[in-house]
Amino acid sequence: MTDRFLNALKGTNTSGRPPVWLMRQAGRYMPEYRVIRSRHSFLEMCHRPELIAEITMLPLKAFQMDAAILFSDILLIPEALEVGLHFEEKLGPVIARPIKNRAHVEALPKIDVRESLGFVAEGIKYFKIDDSKTPLIGFCGGPFTLASYMIEGGSSKDLRKTKEIMLRDPDTLHMLLDLLANYSIDYLNMQIDAGVDALQIFDSWAIFLGHPQFREFSLAYLDKIMKGIKKDKPVIIFCRGSSVFAPDLAELNPQGISLDWNADLSRVRSQIPPGIALQGNLDPDILLASKHVLQREVYRMLASRRGDSAYIFNLGHGITPEVPYENVRALVETVQDFT
């Protein structure tokens, strides 16, 4: 097992440089990925254990990342709840039967996550057979983000429908969030049992919320998950908005907080307990710059956290499809060459 990543989550990475991995590191910017994508639907790629393992491996083979992240999608729990998930070119995820009211929440089927999503556990085991050295990060979506997708019926620029339920019928939203938190606990425990070495929870859409609503509708359910899962694996929490919400997230005592790209890393460092690792937070669009500018920005970030034994290099959000492959290589090599 390569220790740099897991050590950073314990605050004990004294290897001379931070570990590096990138959110959505197995994605459309990779020609190898696009070849697989041309043969399979996105959901098929998420459903078939051998493809999960193969795709998870792609960025490790290409760039020697310090951690792998399970190839999957946060929307597999909603899919298992039979809301009619599919992916449309350009639109992204679409949910055919969105949640509009309490009756819709009550009508959701009761599922056994280990049965419905057992293929994810299989994918983890396949990966671990192929690569027993690289730490593997399992993940799930935050309940608020999952609920938002289920209510909006897909992506949204304002979460207007979710906010209307939140403000007009908060009990229904709480019922949905509680149900999703419970399934997420089962889901993460299944991933731990299957062999992941760490976990990340993505509550990407928390940034739409004011501070009191963030605490009530996002943080409370992240807290429930943190308390419900087995304690033996480190957990990283990410939100869009984690730049602002980091002190709140720190209250949950995760091993790491992953910052969106607005934050000044050193400023956030001073706001949260030293025992919590920080991960982030390069603007993903910097990967569209020339190699020279990219290297300069990566170096600037590395220099600002020099000597920090609890820092993990990453982006502030996922890699976008337009990013040049060679720029990802340049980024990773700049981190690897840093001393």
Backbone angles phi, psi at 257, to 5 degrees: -120, 130
**303: which 2 tokens?**
């220099």
Residue 61 interacts with a second copy (CB under 8 A): yes or no: no
Residue 314 interacts with a second copy (CB under 8 A): yes or no: no
Return the number of the residue (157 or 231) whose C-beta is nearest a second copy. Answer: 157
From residue 98 to residue 137, the character string flagging contacts with a second copy as x (rule: CB under 8 A) and all else as - is ----------------------------------------
Residue 160 interacts with a second copy (CB under 8 A): yes or no: yes
For residues 191 and 118, what is the distance between their CA atoms, to the nearest angstrom? Answer: 9
For residues 236 and 247, what is the distance between their CA atoms, to the nearest angstrom? Answer: 14
**Taking the complex as a whole, how short is the minimal distance between the CB of residue 23 and a second copy, in angstroms?**
15
Q: In what order do the strands lie in the sheet with 68-69?
A: 68-69, 136-141, 198-203, 235-239, 256-258, 277-282, 311-315
For residues 58 and 70, what is the distance between their CA atoms, to the nearest angstrom? Answer: 11
Q: Which of 104, 288, 333, 338 binds a second copy (CB under 8 A)?
A: 288
DSSP 8-state code for residue 218: I
Question: Is 37 known to be catalytic?
Answer: yes
Q: Which of 264, 306, 321, 326 binds a second copy (CB under 8 A)?
A: 264
Return the number of the residue (172 or 191) whose C-beta is nearest a second copy. Answer: 172
How many other CB atoms are there within 10 angstroms of residue 52's CB atom? 25
**Taking the complex as a whole, how short is the minimal distance between the CB of residue 224 and a second copy, in angstroms?**
21
Residues that bind a second copy (rule: CB under 8 A) add up to a total of 38
- Cβ-proximal residues to 141 (8 Å cutoff; 6+ apart), any chain: 74, 75, 77, 149, 184, 201, 202, 203, 204
Q: Which of 263, 312, 319, 323 binds a second copy (CB under 8 A)?
A: 263
Q: Which of 21, 33, 149, 214 binds a second copy (CB under 8 A)?
A: 214
For residues 217 and 240, what is the distance between their CA atoms, to the nearest angstrom? Answer: 15
The span of 9-17, 19-27, 71-79, 204-212 binding a second copy (CB under 8 A) equals 204-212
Q: Which of 35, 91, 129, 167 binds a second copy (CB under 8 A)?
A: 167
Question: Is 28 known to be catalytic?
Answer: yes
Return the number of the residue (165 or 185) whose C-beta is nearest a second copy. Answer: 165
In the chain, alpha helices (H)? 4-10, 31-39, 42-47, 49-63, 76-80, 102-106, 113-116, 118-130, 143-152, 160-168, 170-194, 211-213, 220-228, 242-250, 265-271, 291-304, 325-336
Q: Hey, which residues are catalytic here?
A: 24, 28, 37, 73, 149
Interface residues with a second copy (CB under 8 A) are 157-158, 160, 163-164, 167-168, 207, 209-214, 241, 243-245, 247-248, 261-265, 267, 281-283, 285-286, 288-290, 293, 297, 300, 316
